[in-house]
Chains A and B, each alone.
Chain A
Amino acid sequence: MSLSRLLYVSHCALKEQGAARDTAVREIAARSAKRNPSSLLSGALLYVDDTFVQVLEGPIKAVERCFEAICCDFRHDDIKLIDLIPAKDRVFPEWSMAFLAADDATMKTHGDLAEIRFLVGVNAREAVNQMRQLLKQSAD
């Protein structure tokens, strides 16, 4: 099966603020985690400083369909497609949609996330790798 990997960033436009916003974002991630397996999608969603960084991987048609739905969503704006490449293997095979946010419980710091977000603009591949590293850290 030929895979594709898509990376984009966007700005959160949810009406809720503060803790309510965080909860809402978590819900979005959880819902997509539930939906994705049926379309053979996997990936990770990073949320820091009101910015989303999301990686989608899977068959090209599924990725395109999912991205189109993302582009029809008004809960975020300023969407920038950073990278879209064919891929041999999945980077996030264990997660239908992993969620990365500043969290005391899993020891993910704001700094780590902000660094990834900055890295996206410079070296997309490296940013994706770092996301994976961060996920593995908390898993261990």
Chain B
Amino acid sequence: MRVLTCLIHEHDWRFVLLAALMCLAGSIVAVTLIQRTMTQNGPSRFHWCFMSAVTAGAATWATHFVAMLGYQVVGAVQFNGPLTIASALIAVVGIGSGLLIAIHRNRAFATVAGGTTIGLSIAAMHYAGMFAYQVEGIVRWAPEYVIASMIVAVGLSIALVARLRHATGSLLVDRVTCCLILVAAIVGLHFTGMAAFSVTPIPGVPAIADSETFVAIALAITMVALLIVGMGISTYLAESRVQSESRDQLTHIAMHDTLTGLANRHAFSTALESECQKLMRYGRPFALLMVDLDRFKPINDTLGHPIGDLVLDKVGGRLRRAVRAGDLVARIGGDEFAIIAFGLAEASQASDLAARVVEILSRPFVIDGNVAELGGSVGVALAPRHGTATEELVQHADVALYSAKRAGKNQFCLFESEMMDAMQRRRFLEIDLRRACMREEFTVAYQPILESVSGKITGAEALLRWNCQGRGDVSPAEFIPIAEDLGLVSRIGAGVLQQACRDAISWPEELNIAVNVSPVQLLDPRLPQIVGQALLDSGLQPERLELEITETALLGDDEAALRTLTQLRDMGVRISLDDFGTGYSSLSYLHRFPISRIKIDRSFIQKLPTDAGSASIVRAIAQLGESLDMQVTAEGIETAEQLSFISKHGCDHVQGFLLSRPIKTGEMITLLNERAASIAA
């Protein structure tokens, strides 16, 4: 056909080859840039559009002119400068406009209108170029080929836009396909257009072929065009790198804790989820460790947050050292961390790891000249033994952590299913306890205290009892710690004081009442006020009231304790030291604090009179009391032998099951009446 004939016979193949290479190179880059234009949002879209247009325009224009330079024609050829430049501009502006339309929201409109604009621009550039091509000869145009060329250009351009907008999964496939369409459009237009063009030499005018100049011009055009294309490539690559770097940065920020550089909560959840899936699919076990710092909050409070942050950073570093390479360490909260140990199957291995973590956290931290001793507690859950789902594992590790905390901190705990039951029981107990406070379900029982020699009842110790609806009797040993944690102990304690004072008022005047005060209550600055109120409401004389505190109550903030105890003593209330001999007793306590009675712990009484050691201790305490002018009570008298020993060795008062179990106030009154009656008799 005419087009092929034109291509093969009327063009110097070397120029055609150069033009073809030019076209291919330019098209690939142009398509890449156009793809970018399509995916970009916002104002940068226009920049990409401009670059694409310049690259595509340069490629098209260069292809045309190099091919023209290779057109073998008889007759002198000249290129009209301004038109040549104009054709380049037509190409760029036209393609640019076409692209802007092609990225329009309405797909149909964008494809057709945009494709048409691009196609017509390429055609316009070609024909402008043809008008710039001044040859000596008679030029004839075959209109059917002109129209055909435009149809080719527009048709393929529409196809190009359609393909660009319909992206498949593979970027490379899209790019190559679109490039080939664009090349087909450019080349198709050109040679179909050239088929429309024929030159008949004017007879008599010699043909002056200036092939050297043409080669030079061809090479110059190609070079410039390639430079433009090269710039397109560079810009694209440079921008891609920046994009990918900033994407990496964003990913890092999204997945990491900024302070410590450890994985953050999000990364941790993702990793845990992924591990659970691997467990299901391949059976790969792992261990989950939840780490909680023990004494971090005081650091933040006393040394300030900047130092606190530095400490956390160091903690992160230490945790990284304690784990094996490849294990995940994450910071999931203020002072909460988590570790996923991949591939860990044995409980012993997990325990070793947890032990290392506990040990390394117990070592001192030095920041800015300040020394901080933190410590950490660890809860361990193994997968699949302790669970296979993320929520389950986290819950179990948390329960184990809680056990470690309750057991005294600075240790680790492996999950056991009993813990869940204990946890549940505690949770329900908390609910019941709160309700008990509201409903005042508590009662007070009294254990009489007798004079050891005469056997006279001199008073009673008030003991808290809780009969929980549906649960029965709950021992104070179990619910008092919970009450302390819930902050209910002051309220319950106030209730006990009120009740005890009220009941004591109904007893004979010479009887005293002793009420236990927990360490938490002692630290409450409202305690003197609460005691005062109880005395006032009941009308009980302060001298009849005795408050029993344990040695551990004096351990903590002893300044505050001293203040409170002094206030109470000034009110007339007496203080006795309970469970004496078992705690961190320092004899200086007896001296410093306003104590009027020592109660020897039952553990010494139990072993009397056979155990010589206990006997010596009891004797010593009795003598100590005497020399310090303090009363001494022996608690837990259960046998007659214990009673006789005690009476012989200087304890003023006795208390215990042998003498009487704890009884209600009504029974107390009955007992007193019986005694009174028997004395009278």
Contact A64 B321 (CB under 8 A): no
Which of A63, A72, A84 has a CB less than 8 Å from the CB of B317? A72
Contact B368 A60 (CB under 8 A): yes
A6 close to chain B: CB less than 8 A: yes
CA separation between A79 and B356, bound complex, in Å? Answer: 13
Contact A79 B363 (CB under 8 A): yes
CB-CB < 8 A to B317: which residues of A? Answer: 68, 72
Number of B residues near A (Cβ < 8 Å) is 15
CA separation between A68 and B321, bound complex, in Å? Answer: 11
A77 close to chain B: CB less than 8 A: yes
Cβ proximity bits A60-92 to B, threshold 8 Å, 1 near / 0 not: 100110011001101001011100101000000
Which of B364, B367, B368, B369 has a CB less than 8 Å from the CB of A71? B364
B312 to nearest A CB, angstroms?
13
Chain A CB count within 10 A is highest, among B363, B364, B371, for B363
A4 close to chain B: CB less than 8 A: yes
Report B356-395 residues with CB < 8 Å from chain A CB: 356, 359-360, 363-369, 371
Which of A6, A68, A77, A80 has a CB less than 8 Å from the CB of B314? A68
Contact A67 B360 (CB under 8 A): no
B675 close to chain A: CB less than 8 A: no
CB-CB < 8 A to A80: which residues of B? Answer: 364
Chain B CB count within 10 A is highest, among A8, A81, A86, for A81
Contact B363 A71 (CB under 8 A): yes
Which of A8, A72, A77, A84 has a CB less than 8 Å from the CB of B369? A84
Which of A4, A6, A60, A71 has a CB less than 8 Å from the CB of B360? A71
Report B313-365 residues with CB < 8 Å from chain A CB: 314, 317-318, 321, 356, 359-360, 363-365
CA separation between A21 and B363, bound complex, in Å? Answer: 23
Contact B366 A77 (CB under 8 A): no
Which of A68, A72, A74 has a CB less than 8 Å from the CB of B366? A68
CA separation between A67 and B370, bound complex, in Å? Answer: 13
Query: Which size class do A's interface residues fall under?
Result: 10 to 19
Known: A71-B360, A74-B356, A77-B359. A64 touches B367 (CB 8 A): yes
Chain A CB count within 10 A is highest, among B318, B356, B366, B371, for B366
Contact A81 B364 (CB under 8 A): yes
CA separation between A68 and B371, bound complex, in Å? Answer: 12
CA separation between A127 and B371, bound complex, in Å? Answer: 21
Contact B318 A71 (CB under 8 A): yes
Report B477-518 residues with CB < 8 Å from chain A CB: none
Q: Which residue of B lies closest to A6 (CB)?
A: B366
Contact B371 A84 (CB under 8 A): yes
A72 to nearest B CB, angstroms?
4
CB-CB < 8 A to A60: which residues of B? Answer: 368-369
CB-CB < 8 A to A81: which residues of B? Answer: 364, 366, 371
B88 to nearest A CB, angstroms?
63
CB-CB < 8 A to B365: which residues of A? Answer: 68, 71
Known: A68-B317, A71-B318, A74-B356. A4 touches B369 (CB 8 A): yes
Q: Which residue of B lies closest to A10 (CB)?
A: B363
Chain B CB count within 10 A is highest, among A64, A67, A71, A80, for A71
CB-CB < 8 A to B364: which residues of A? Answer: 8, 71, 79-81
CA separation between A80 and B373, bound complex, in Å? Answer: 10
CA separation between A77 and B363, bound complex, in Å? Answer: 9
Q: Which residue of A lies closest to B314 (CB)?
A: A68
Contact A72 B360 (CB under 8 A): yes
Contact B366 A64 (CB under 8 A): yes
Known: A77-B359, A79-B363. A72 touches B318 (CB 8 A): yes
16 further contact pairs, Cβ within 8 A, besides A68-B365, A77-B359, A81-B371: A60-B368, A64-B367, A67-B366, A68-B366, A71-B360, A71-B364, A71-B365, A72-B317, A72-B360, A74-B356, A74-B360, A79-B363, A81-B366, A84-B366, A84-B369, A84-B371
7 A/B residue pairs, CB under 8 Å, sorted by A: A4-B369, A8-B364, A63-B366, A71-B360, A77-B359, A84-B366, A86-B369
Interface residues of B (CB under 8 A from A): 314, 317-318, 321, 356, 359-360, 363-369, 371
